Amino acid sequence: MGDNHDDEPVENRAVGSLDVDADVIQPASDTGYTIVELVETKKKNKGKTKTILHPMTLDFPEGCVTAIMGPSGSGKTTTLDFITGSIGSSVLASGEVNLPGSNAYIPQDDRLHGFYTCSGYMKHYTRLTGRKSDQANLDTIDSILSSLGLSQQKDTIVGDIFLKGLSGGQKRRLSIALEALSNPKNFFLDEPTSGLDSESAYQVMKFLREYAAAAPGRRVILTIHQPSSFIWQTIDHVVLMAKGKLMFQGNRKDMESFFESAGYPTPPEYNPADHYVNAVNDEFSNNLMHPDEWSNEFLNWHFTHGGGKLLQGQNHENRRRSSIVHKDEVQTNRANALTTSIELTRRYFANLIFNPGILGTRVAMYAMLSIMCGALFWDLGSSETYASIQSRIALSFYCVAFFIFMSIAVMPFTVAEKGIVDKEVKNGYYHPAVYQVAQALASLPGAALLAFIVTLVIITMTRLREPLWYFVLMFLALVNAEALAQLVSHMVRRAETTLWGSFIHTLYRFLVWFNVCLKN
């Protein structure tokens, strides 16, 4: 798959403070198994804590697709978040993760820019990792898109609320294609088949299985609810959970003998995955074993089959640490800061051009507000009275104040892009500081354009002198306003949050300003 970057380091991060513990669990064997030891995970809510994941030790064999399964609320996504270091601030987690190699994580929601075509997006990610768009890499792009059934859509834009483009299932496949381009050793996916039709879901799982087996040291680890019979055949290794506890882990083919020994044989012509998930789900039946009983049943079965060494983390109730320890922490394929900054700047400009809501709408808003200000202070510069001097000061103040608050228009788009940036930073494409620098530099031409429009309209209508001074004043005000808007955008999670407070405050300012103008 293009230039092989498997052995280049990639940063494996976990949220929160990391205190490295010397007591690190060792791989159980030399056959490619890797240990993830989860000591305990609790969720904070109104001063109380609730255990959502109980102590367990998981193994992930190389060259395999490992599926984390279970009923709703079993802790599948939380387990994946623990492994990838995505545990939120409301969750207290402790344990160890020993997954050497580069990582790629694809969340359940597709985080993509809408203006790229499929092939254009793939080329962008190629440049983002410091590789050239030569023929070898172009062939790799075509091969990956073909494997995921996107060959006919290679020149179709992704699409968003303004632009019609790919369907939801096609976007999901493109998300997988983008991350596969960097050849990660550990490929994490949260519900990769959700929103896909049966054939697309099967092709995605087939691709992931071929990807895992294509090179030494690769692992595909994913969460899935209840796979179909066809998808079930593409899974090699299974981690079955219920109510935050481990019900089973091991080879998919071993599950039949385990459940049969527990007294729950798979009915004929029945989807095995449905049967196993239903068997450990006691929410709708009192006849099934409790999750604690299933957990003990699995321990007995596993020890009987010689698997005791892999379960050494099962009895760690008395062991507590205040952090997640990632062993063999490494960094992913990352280009140098200059190359990445240039590519991110290009992406920002493309977003400005193809997304009318970012710049086009702001140009119209600023032009209309400039005309309103110019009309209220019409021909102000022709007078040299004391009152006109006061009016010039008022014009400068209110124009700067109003145009600063108009910068809120960029905030929803920054919040929307935040998810994309978080994913790319987590997957090691660039450092957050590089993104901030690129975004700041790329916003300067837009601020200059808006300042020029405001200056041209105001100077023409009010006949003020010193247009250069006015342009510099507006430019600096807009640059600072946009920087503040970006800061606030990174502090919130929802786009609507950025609008209401600014709208109310701006409306109040406008009414005060309008009242002053009427009095004058």
CA distance 431 to 340: 9
Check residue 65 and report its DSSP letter: E
Copy the structure tokens of residue 119: 């092939």
3-state helix/strand/coil string of 11-41:
CCCCCCCCCCCCCCCCCCCCCCCCEEEEEEE
- The DSSP call for residue 323 is S
Cβ-in-10-Å burial (0-12, 13-18, 19+) of 259 comes to: buried
* SS3 label, residue 190: strand
Closest CA to 252 of 38, 34, 69, 82: 69
**CA 107 vs CA 87, 152, 358: distances in Å:** 13, 25, 26
Single-letter amino acid, residue 216:
P
| pLDDT tens across the length of the chain (520 residues) | 444 444 333 333 333 322 323 232 233 333 344 456 666 566 666 667 777 788 888 888 999 999 999 888 888 888 888 888 877 667 777 778 888 888 899 988 888 988 899 999 999 999 888 887 778 888 889 999 998 989 999 999 998 877 788 988 899 999 999 999 988 999 999 999 887 888 889 989 999 999 999 888 899 999 998 888 899 999 999 999 888 888 888 899 888 888 888 888 888 888 899 888 888 887 665 556 666 677 777 767 766 665 544 444 443 333 333 344 444 444 445 668 888 888 999 998 888 888 766 777 788 888 888 888 888 888 776 666 767 777 777 887 877 777 777 777 777 777 778 889 989 988 889 988 899 888 888 888 888 999 999 889 988 888 877 888 889 988 998 888 888 877 777 776 665 555 555 555 566 566 666 676 676 6
Domain spans in the chain, listed from the N-terminal domain onward: 337-519
- Looking up tokens 């859509």 gives 153
d(CA 344, CA 431) in angstroms, rounded, equals 12
Torsions phi, psi of 85, nearest 5? 80, 30
Gap between the Cα atoms of 267 and 315, Å rounded: 34
Distance from C-alpha of 455 to C-alpha of 373, rounded to nearest angstrom:
11
Helix (H) or strand (E) holding 383: none
Report the C-alpha gap between 263 and 267 in whole angstroms.
12
pLDDT score recorded for residue 291 = 67
CA-to-CA distance for 67 and 60, rounded, in angstroms?
10
Distance in angstroms (rounded) separating the CA atoms of residues 150 and 450:
39
Sort 144 into a burial class: Cβ within 10 Å, 0-12 / 13-18 / 19+.
buried
CA–CA gap between residue 292 and residue 252 (Å, rounded): 21
Torsion of CA 294, 76, 217, 63, to 10 degrees: 60
- pLDDT for 207: 93
Tokens of 63: 């060259």
Reported as half-sphere exposure (CB side, CA atoms, 13 A), residue 501 has a value of 8
pLDDT of the residue at 308:
47
Q: 313-320: long-range contacts (C-beta < 8 A, 24 or more apart)?
A: 313/25, 313/35, 313/37, 313/38, 313/39, 313/55, 313/56, 313/57, 314/55, 314/56, 314/57, 314/246, 315/55, 316/37, 316/39, 316/55, 317/55, 319/39, 320/39, 320/40, 320/94
pTM of the model: 0.77
State the pLDDT at residue 354: 80
SS3 call for 207:
helix
Residue with tokens 């809120």: 408
